[in-house]
Amino acid sequence: MTNGTHDTRVADALTPRQGLTSHPGQQPVTSLPRGKLHALPAPVIWGAVWGVIQAASPLGLWWLEPKTVYALALALIAAVYIGFSVADGRGHVIAAETIVAGSFVIIAAMSVSGSAWLLVAGLAGHGLKDLWQHRTQFVRNTRWWPPFCATVDWVAAGILTTALLTGVSFHG
C-alpha cells in the first residue's frame, strides 16, 4: 500500500493491466482509484428520495389540481439553473440557461390545460438536460447537482408515467 515515502495505491490502480483491450493496438483499460467510484452515489440516492417526494407533492397542496402542482415544480426545477448560471458569471451561460429554463416554463404552462404527458416529457427532458450538464459542465461548479436533479426528474417522470398508464386522474 505505501512504500514508506508515498502512497502507491493511486499509481497502482491506474497502471494498465494486460489482456484488457478488445482490439489490437487499442490502449489498455485503466482502473480508477476506489475512492473515485463513490463520488456520485449520495446525489443519486437523495435524488431518488426527492423524486418520490416530488411525485407525492400534490398531496401537500391538495387544493390545487395535481397537474398545476407538477407544472409549478417543473418551472421551479428549470429555474434553478438560472441561479447557477448567475453564480457562474459568464454572460453566454446566463443567456443560454435563461432560454432553456423559459422553454421548460412554457412546457409546464401548456401542461396545465393540456395533456399530463407534457409533464412527463418536461421532466424526462430536463433529466436529459441535466445529463448533458453533467457531461459538459457548461455551468461551472455544479458537479453534484446534475446527477441529483436528473435522478429527481427521472424518478418523478417514471412515477407519473406509471400513474398515467394506470388511469390516475391529474385533475382535482
Report pLDDT digits (tens) over 111-157.
Answer: 999 999 999 999 999 999 999 999 999 999 888 899 999 999 999 99
Q: What is the percent of the chain with per-residue pLDDT over 70, rounded to a whole number?
A: 76
Number of domains forming the structure of the chain: 2
One domain, residues 67 and 87: yes
Grid cell of 22 as nine digits: 478488445
Mean pLDDT calculated for residue range 67-78: 95
Q: How far apart are CA 88 and CA 167, in angstroms?
A: 43
Does residue 33 share a domain with residue 63? no
pLDDT given at position 74: 95
Burial pattern 70-80, b for ≥16 Cβ within 10 A else e, equals: bbebbbebbee
7 pLDDT above the threshold of 70: no
> pTM for this structure?
0.74
Tell me the C-alpha distance between 14 and 22, whole Å.
Answer: 18
* Claim to verify: residue 5 and residue 79 sit in the same structural domain: no
Percent of the chain with pLDDT over 90: 70
Residue span of the structural domain in which 16 resides:
1-38
Rounded Cα distance, 69 and 62, in Å: 9
The reply to whether 78 falls in a domain is yes
Q: Same domain, yes or no, for 83 and 146?
A: yes
24/84 same-domain check: no
Domain co-membership, 46 together with 29: no
**Does residue 156 share a domain with residue 80?**
yes
